[in-house]
Amino acid sequence: MDYNVQNPERIFSMQLISVNVSPPKTIEYKNRLVETGIFKEPVDGRVILIGLAGG
């Protein structure tokens, strides 16, 4: 349960709209091989999220 700082009596919730994931990929960057997960793609269907933090 989260509380709005300006109005602690008001409870709010968020809805997750989309999940994008990427397995690590090795690419060449500045003449070096580096591993990255930046090339993400949408996931179809339901997924389990562990350790999702909000701010």
pLDDT per residue as tens digits for the range 1-48: 455 556 666 666 777 788 888 889 999 999 999 999 999 988 888 888
Local confidence band at 55 (pLDDT 50, 70, 90 cut-offs): low
Question: What is the tally of structural domains in the chain?
Answer: 1
Position 18 in a domain: yes
Instruction: Tell me the pTM.
Output: 0.46
Which two three-digit tokens encode residue 36? 């990255």
Domain range for 18 is 2-42
Does some domain include residue 47?
no
Phi and psi (nearest 5°) for 8? -60, -20
If DSSP codes are grouped into helix, strand and coil, which group holds residue 3?
strand
